[in-house]
Structure 1
Amino acid sequence: MSEAVLYEQDGGVVTLTLNDPATRNALSPDIIDTLLAHVERINADLSVGCVILTGAGKAFCSGGNVKKIGERAAGLPIPAEVRLGYRHGVQRLPMALHGLEAPLIAAVNGPAIGVGCDLAAMCDIRLAGASARFAESFLRVGLVSGDGGAWFLPRVVGLSKAYEMTFTGDFVDAGQALTMGLVSQVVEDEALLDAVRALAHRIAAQPPHALRLSKRLIRDSQRVDLAASLEMAASMQALAQHTEDHREAMAALAEKRAPQYSGR
């Protein structure tokens, strides 16, 4: 497996670290392919209760590789080739992360620019270090967000703020990100990973099947009406109520002890 994204597991928590600090973790085909492989691995492993996504060094993700984007533009590929390049390249990433069954927390440890901002928005929860900065900066290079940001960002910060971030390309610091709901917590840089790991372990301690079903229910309810959401909830509840972990949770509650979940 490529070292472009490091994979570390501690109990039920997996940490994925974008590992190209020389480019401030600019998104590359190698990073994309490795992330996709890790997502597939996690979806098949019920022992993973929560995933952390962060960047090596002092950046979360600086966006696309501007030099390579310039080289590609100079070659003037035909539009059909560009379209296919996106569909079979970076656009696989939002589909994969949206389909990740375990909860995903972004530990934004520095700049999250362009596709880096969108990558953070693809996560379920975002915590930021005090030095984190965000920018939906595609217009600065005469481009649009081709990686799903137009779908994810309004769902995170609301339509008006998404428009403002996109149309201006302005940098948003950690405090502003907290105010607009782009992140849920801001902590000092040196305490960021400890704070994220503590949250991740709390999440990973939940019953595995019910946890993944809960994420799916919230996610899928965003695109259906109330009746359809209730139908999904009823079906998922039927599954959850027939797990051993549900019975263990009820027994532990009655006996006033910590539950011991088996994933069955």
Structure 2
Amino acid sequence: VNGPAIGAGFDLANMADLRIASTQAKFGETFLNLGIIPGDGGAWFLQRLIGYQRAFELTLSGRLVDASEAKTLGIVLEVVEPAQLAARAGELAARFAAQPPKALRLTKRLMKLAQRMELGDFLDLCAAFQGMCHNEPEHQEAVKRLWAK
């Protein structure tokens, strides 16, 4: 985020798995200021991101937060200078893309499902996904490298 993410723009940003902001970013759940509700998912996404109490305060006050406060609240992962934003996002993307594709895909799915599953069911799913990954060449090669050390 390299500028204002306000109202629907803020909600859209909060739908992403990760957010990096430049020092120029501003964030706000400002719907109430306009006499309307956050009707595009903002009330759902924001409280899952930063907790009910903080989301409630931001939503009802309609105040803007700068990038530094957004990092403190947990809205963004990092804050960088504007000129570094694209490069830093690219670094993170490259790091994730270098992970074994199947394990990466299943891990992302687990992270999302964990938010709405009971622990026992979640652990069963983890065991199934782990079994799927054990037969992947990337896992077998990684184990060989580990034992070679």
TM bracket, shorter-chain basis? over 0.9
Match of 2:110 in 1: 217
Gaps of 5+ in 1: 1-107, 257-264
CA distance in 2, matches of 1:130, 1:163: 24
Match of 1:156 in 2: 49
Gaps of 5+ in 2: none
Partner secondary structure for residue 128 of structure 1: strand
TM-score computed with the length of structure 2 as normaliser:
0.95
Count of aligned pairs: 149
Which of 66, 71, 74 matches 1:173? 66
| Bigger fraction of residues in strand | 1
Structure 2 matches for 1:226-237, cutoff 5 A? 226-237=119-130
Match of 2:35 in 1: 142
Partner secondary structure for residue 75 of structure 2: coil
CA distance in 1, matches of 2:147, 2:98: 18
| Bigger fraction of residues in helix | 2
Write out the 4+ residue segments of structure 1 that deviate beyond 3 Å after TM superposition. 252-256
Please give the per-residue CA displacement for 1:202-225, whole angstroms capped at 9, x wherever unaligned. 111000000010011111011011
Aligned-residue identity in percent: 48
CA distance in 2, matches of 1:252, 1:126: 33
Structure 2 matches for 1:12-51, cutoff 5 A? none
**1:243 Cα offset (Å):** 1.2
CA distance in 1, matches of 2:147, 2:20: 35
CA distance in 2, matches of 1:145, 1:123: 17
Match of 1:187 in 2: 80
Please give the per-residue CA displacement for 1:186-215, whole angstroms capped at 9, x wherever unaligned. 000111111111111111100000001001
Counterpart of 2:143, as a letter, is M
Partner secondary structure for residue 125 of structure 1: coil
Which of 95, 98, 109 matches 1:205? 98
Q: Looking at both structures, which has the greater relative contact order when contacts are Cα pairs under 8 Å and sequence separation is at least 6?
A: 2
**1:255 Cα offset (Å):** 4.2
Partner secondary structure for residue 186 of structure 1: strand
CA distance in 1, matches of 2:72, 2:114: 25
